[in-house]
Structure 1
């Protein structure tokens, strides 16, 4: 996991940050990622949580039977994900092909049918889903892909909140340093390493002469593996 600072949300930012990348890119609905896909640099996997949120907002505002039905069908996709959490990518793909594929195959034509019958606000929610359908259903064919980007969303929420509360950073250089620190702290959390203790230990090792050629050994993933208690035979 790495954080990169950009001063704005121009489409050129992800193009620059991800130049030379390939493979699957799991994203929200931000249009700045589309040029990457159009270059055939990456394949986009979109987030069902963002789709669900749009229908939820409609359902919460008042009677909305179509939005409610969409939420029920999306909930079935999430129920299947709960069943296969922690399984291998091949196992996840097999279950998704059997159980999630029929739900998705039924949802798309149903949404298109409703577009002719509903208000503009609901049309926007359905058009959002249908315009991203290939990327939304990519997870069904690839067990490595998650159904949403919630893990990333949760990890960046504290940073986003602090950005608003503290006016983020005093300069571009300060923001870039913040991104570097976050790129160490958040992976440490994911690897069950206490961030403050980790940073203190790593800085101590560097001060005490840890070889520059072996700095990769101090990155959170490698650090967690090296400090994990060894099993006693």
Structure 2
């Protein structure tokens, strides 16, 4: 907002409106300045502070994410103009080739020219790509084992039931892997995972998920023993950048 101080309007209502707008702008800028100063202080603590006072990089990343989100919201709220640019080098990396593609055709309503009514003929096409997300889906594997009987010896034949990783459990290996990766790689607690499953319409208690984790860890004990032997075969172990004899 720019005002010509030498030619201020004489209308009091207009002056009041301009004053309110200026106050809102100043208040908004003060808030942004305060938040940016907080981020700068956190960066200084991260780089120069004592070890006990240094900020967790993940917490700092959260603050920067909020800042980037505000910038994106401000850019989205402004006017957008499509301009043909001679240099058509991609401004971002192309989407990975291994991702599946779903073709969406958006064609004209009819093949008649909207101006003169003549027949339209194809001269090319414009192709653009957007990155989409397919939400995770829970499904039920229904296992059917037919039974057969022999009329001669009265014996019933049936294929054996497949072994389950968790005795009497409902989880398949894929679901167990998802729970373990979410807990130990993505740091998602079990109670939050239970809430996520509930949004899909599946009620799973935290204690149930904890039992699955414990059962899966039993299967991984052999791998743990192998890794332990390999690690302990060294003369020194390195943990948290500190050599430990």
Q: Same fold (TM over 0.5)?
A: no
TM-score normalised per structure 1: 0.19
TM-score normalised per structure 2: 0.18
Larger Rg belongs to: 2
When you count helix as a share of all residues, which structure comes out higher? 1
